[in-house]
Amino acid sequence: MPSLEQTCERGGGRELSAPRLRSDTPERAGLDPGELEHLVQEVHDLTTGERPWAAGLVVVAGRGPVIAVEEASGWAVRFASYDPETDAGVELPRKARVPMTAATPFDLASLTKLFTAVAAMQQIERGTLGIDARVGAYLPDFRAAARHGVTVRELLTHTSGLRPELPLYDCADDAERLELLRSEPPIGVPGTYTYSDVNLLLLQHVLERITGRGLDTLVHDGITRPLGMTATGFGPCPGAAATEYQRRPWAKADRGMLRGVVHDENAWALGGVAGHAGLFSTGRDLAVFCRTLLAGGSYGPARILGPDFVDLLLTPPGLGFAIDQPWFMGELAGRGAAGHTGFTGTSLVLDRATDTFLVLLSNAVHPRRRPPDSGPRAAAATRLARAVRPTSLAGP
């Protein structure tokens, strides 16, 4: 199988051959083909027109071991820059654009948090990390978190009281960035939900301290390598879909058009490996990730978590995963569906009640970020929910 670098360099490479996932008809998956036809058409509609929802998009959907939809639409690279005077992207000549394919890698943005959460759960399963242990027990030098008694569970459930983000991108060097994290106290009421990238940055430091290994190594050795997810890893990833033309004032840094380097400014400032952002992946690889969790932590001969620990990960309110959120899960929400979204235009949902999964990857920030709109994500999930037939699922 190709390495991440090889896959990224040629914009995707060959599809992965996973032992438990296969492409087959909707009927073999126990899904209604008519609803999935609507899903595919609506995905294509999202990339058309003068101001599409996204320049390009990949959707992968299935049930049980069957991938019933794997579709690409639009462009991996469409724009050269963004013109603030016309509030429009500066389009590349058609021959210079890069078409989207099902194998195109994407900047996952906050879907990275799910991998950090699984890496943490692996340490909890091994007994090297306590779910209700205080962060200060592992990171005594992180003075503010230690002083306020922040726990590992609070980091995973976004109930630590830490603010949503810190301006690490404005720090002069790594030492200043580290000091900012060490001295940052909670500003909210502990136990109250406040979504925060800082939670996952602290969790990254906990994992790296107790294992003596970097997060990129933990994700590779503990998740992507055993699952055969060779197109998944931290960047750079030159063949990835382009993201944003970053310029102040709409962005937090002046970096120009981004492709193959992490979009998130804080993850960029941290060298591209961060607990909250930085991973690149493909739709097929994320389908493997979803299938593994739906199967209780195993995929083919590999086991990355035991079923009890998958239950702990996905039981409301969820550890790292969002649970039953209709705003992006549509009608899949309601019986324990789990997933997450990413700022660049990514999302995944897995529903254990129906054994279904939906991966939607886009470069919705290409050529520049807009106010978030998760309506298309919810609509796609609703199509999948309505496609579920009350029949036995296809066998392995």
pLDDT at residue number 372: 87
Beta-bridged to residue 83, according to DSSP, are 88
Q: Quick one: average pLDDT of 352-363?
A: 98
- Contact by Cβ (8 Å): 357, 385: no
Residue 333 belongs to a domain: yes
Q: Quick one: average pLDDT of 346-372?
A: 97
Residue 176 belongs to a domain: no
pLDDT tens readout for residues 115-166: 999 999 999 999 999 999 999 999 999 999 999 999 999 999 999 999 999 9
pLDDT bin (cut points 50, 70, 90) of residue 391 is: low
Question: Which of 36, 67, 10 minimizes the C-alpha distance to 283?
Answer: 67
Residue 36 belongs to a domain: yes
Residue 259 belongs to a domain: yes
Residue 321 belongs to a domain: yes
Percent helix / strand / coil, the chain, rounded to 5: 35, 20, 45
DSSP codes, 113-177: HHHHHHHHHHHHHHTSS-TT-BHHHH-TT-HHHHHTT-BHHHHHHT-S---S---GGGSSSHHHH
Q: Quick one: average pLDDT of 341-355?
A: 98
pLDDT tens readout for residues 51-84: 899 999 999 999 999 999 999 999 999 999 999 9
Residue 273 belongs to a domain: yes
Residue 301 belongs to a domain: yes
Helices and strands of the chain, counted as H and E runs: 16, 17
- Contact by Cβ (8 Å): 18, 288: yes
pLDDT tens readout for residues 224-246: 999 999 999 999 999 999 999 99
Question: Which of 15, 116, 107 minimizes the C-alpha distance to 346?
Answer: 107
Boundaries of domain holding 85:
4-115+216-387
Three-state DSSP class for 58? Answer: strand
Question: Which of 282, 332, 271 minimizes the C-alpha distance to 39?
Answer: 332
Domain count, the chain: 1
**Which H or E element spans position 44?**
helix 33-45
- Contact by Cβ (8 Å): 248, 19: no
CATH number of residue 361's parent domain: 3.40.710.10
Crossing angle between the packed helical segments 112-126 and 197-211, to the nearest 10 degrees = 40
For all residues of the chain together, what is the average pLDDT?
A: 93
pLDDT at residue number 396: 43
- Distances in Å between the Cα of 240 and the Cα atoms of 4, 79, 101, 233, 272 are 11, 14, 11, 12, 14
Question: Which of 373, 343, 336, 388 minimizes the C-alpha distance to 51?
Answer: 373
Kindly state the percentage of the chain with pLDDT values over 70. 94
pLDDT at residue number 212: 98
pLDDT tens readout for residues 250-281: 999 999 999 999 999 999 999 999 999 999 99
Measured torsion, CA atoms of residues 173, 178, 183, 184, in degrees rounded to the nearest 10: 90
Residue 109: half-sphere exposure toward Cβ, Cα within 13 Å? 22
CB atoms within 10 A of CB 134: 17
DSSP codes, 209-267: HHHSS-HHHHHIIIIIHHHT-TT-EES--TTSPEEEEE-TTTSSS--EEEESS--SHHH
C-alpha–C-alpha distance, residues 22 and 390, integer Å = 21
pLDDT bin (cut points 50, 70, 90) of residue 348 is: very high
Residue 52 belongs to a domain: yes
Question: Which of 275, 354, 278, 349 minimizes the C-alpha distance to 314?
Answer: 349
pLDDT tens readout for residues 328-343: 999 999 999 999 999 9
Question: Count of residues for the chain?
Answer: 396
